[in-house]
Structure formats: C-alpha cells, structure tokens
Amino acid sequence: MEPTTAFTPERQLSASKRQAILSGAMAEFLTHGYAATTMDRVAAAAGVSKATVYSHFQDKAGLFTALVEQLQEKKFQAVYGVSDGQRLQGPPRQVLRYLASTMLENIIEDKPFQAFMRLIIGESGRFPELARAFSHNIPQCFLMLLKDYLGSQTELKLADPEAVARIFIGSLVHYVIFQELLNAKEVLPFERDRMIQGLVDLIVTDGLNPHFYSDGDGVYPLAA
C-alpha cells in the first residue's frame, strides 16, 4: 500500500494563508492597479503579516504570476471539466461549439476576471511582463490541447492545426475584448450564438471542401 500524504493542521493553515494572500492581492490589484499595490497593502487585505506574504511569494511580480496561474487553473477546469486536460472527444462541430460556448459564457459571466483583463491591458505599456505572464499562462494550455484535438481529426483536412487553433482562440478573445471590455455591444452588437456558429462553420466542413488552405507560408480562409 502506498503511503498517503497527511494534511497536517500546519499545512492546511499554510494553504489557507496562501489563498487569503491571493484573494487579498486580487482585490488590491483591481482597486489600486499594479504599480500602486504594495506588499503591505496585500498583507493588510489578507489579514496576515508582511513576512508571511514574503514567505509564500518572493516579490510582487511573483505574487501576480501566481494569481495568473490560479486563474488559468480555474478557467481550464471550467472549460474542460478536469484539471489534467483529458483529451477532447466527439465530432468537431460538437466539440468546437461546446468549447466556444463554454469559454465565452465563463468569461462573460465572470466580471472580476474581466476587470483583471482590463488591468493587464491598461498596465501592459508600463509593465509588459504582466501581459507576457497572462498571455503565456492563460491561452497556452487551451492552445496545445485544441491543436492536438484538431490534428487528430483527419476529416477536417487542416494543413496547420496549430494555426487554426490560434485563429479559433484568437477570435474568442477578440470577441470578449471588443464586445465586453470595449463595450462594443452597446454600439455594434454581435450575438454570441451567431459568432460561434460562424466561427465553427469556418473550420468544420462536414466532409466538403476545407475552408482553410496553406501556401507554405501561412494558413488562410478560402474565399466564398
């Protein structure tokens, strides 16, 4: 019998304090921005000492990165339903519609996450490392899993599954930024279901001619 890991009171307390620090950091970053947030503010918001914050996180950048990683894990589980990235199964039209619908619903209904995206976009000029941390952690796991799935669907006849995966995810990100963060839904609304249907139709051909072609240098949609 393999030994089990014992969750001692000390370990549970440490995990509880770490979560309190991350929650406090999120509140402070959203309220004051990255530059004005200090480890003292985070400690006060978390109800712990400054030394405790530093015992869990080396500096403010490390704390921010840990917060991004936690958000990534939550979003990944919300979309895929498992933390280990179980391979997607099912016909492409069904799978892609599910992914697009779930991703958009999860982000659009999550106002704190949208506020966090606004923070990163707003601070990216002064602190490009924040945008890099977000761009590396959040889309990467989705991209790799989707690329592998698309590559396994030979009936799609995709010359470059990774490029198509990037187009798919990029379209969803653009929709959120344009419609929600920039409030285009008030002046140039675009129904979510219509967007999803159009995006899936671009990729899935149902056995007809593929909608994407490659000239060796890139992947492009075929003209109608």
Q: Tell me, yes or no, whether 44 and 90 share the same domain.
A: no
Q: What is the pLDDT of residue 85?
A: 46
The answer to whether residue 2 scores a pLDDT higher than 50 is no
Q: What is the pLDDT of residue 1?
A: 44
Q: How far apart are CA 219 and CA 45, in angstroms?
A: 48
Does residue 44 fall inside a structural domain? yes
Q: Tell me, yes or no, whether 215 and 171 share the same domain.
A: yes
CATH of the domain at 133: 1.10.357.10
Q: Tell me, yes or no, whether 123 and 189 share the same domain.
A: yes
Q: How many CB atoms lie within 10 A of CB 149?
A: 19
User: 170: Cβ–Cβ under 8 A, 6 or more apart, which residues?
Assistant: none
Q: Mind listing the pLDDT tens digit for each residue in 102-116?
A: 989 999 999 888 999
Q: How far apart are CA 41 and CA 50, in angstroms?
A: 9
Q: What is the DSSP string of 155-218?
A: GG--S-HHHHHHHHHHHHHHHIIIIIIS-GGGTS---HHHHHHHHHHHH--TTSS-SEEE-SS-
The β-bridge relationship of strands 219-221 and 212-214 is: antiparallel
Q: Tell me, yes or no, whether 69 and 51 share the same domain.
A: no
Q: Tell me, yes or no, whether 201 and 122 share the same domain.
A: yes
Q: Tell me, yes or no, whether 14 and 110 share the same domain.
A: no
Q: What is the pLDDT of residue 208?
A: 42
Q: What is the pLDDT of residue 194?
A: 95
The answer to whether residue 53 scores a pLDDT higher than 70 is yes
pTM: predicted TM-score of the whole model, two decimal places: 0.75
Q: What are phi and psi of 212, to 5 degrees?
A: -120, 145
Q: Tell me, yes or no, whether 152 and 44 share the same domain.
A: no
Residue 121 burial (C-beta neighbours within 10 Å; 0-12, 13-18, 19+): middle
Q: Can you tell me the mean pLDDT for 10-39?
A: 88
Q: What is the pLDDT of residue 135?
A: 79
Share of the chain above pLDDT 70, in %: 81
CATH of the domain at 37: 1.10.10.60
Greatest Cα pair distance, the chain, in angstroms, is: 64
Q: Tell me, yes or no, whether 82 and 49 share the same domain.
A: no
What is the tally of structural domains in the chain? 2
Domain that holds residue 124: 64-221
Q: Can you tell me the mean pLDDT for 163-170?
A: 93
Q: Tell me, yes or no, whether 92 and 179 share the same domain.
A: yes
Confidence of residue 84 (pLDDT cuts 50, 70, 90): very low
Does residue 107 fall inside a structural domain? yes
Q: Tell me, yes or no, whether 116 and 212 share the same domain.
A: yes
The answer to whether residue 92 scores a pLDDT higher than 90 is yes
Q: What is the pLDDT of residue 81?
A: 64
| Residue 65 contacts residue 40 (beta carbons within 8 Å) | no
Q: What is the pLDDT of residue 223?
A: 53
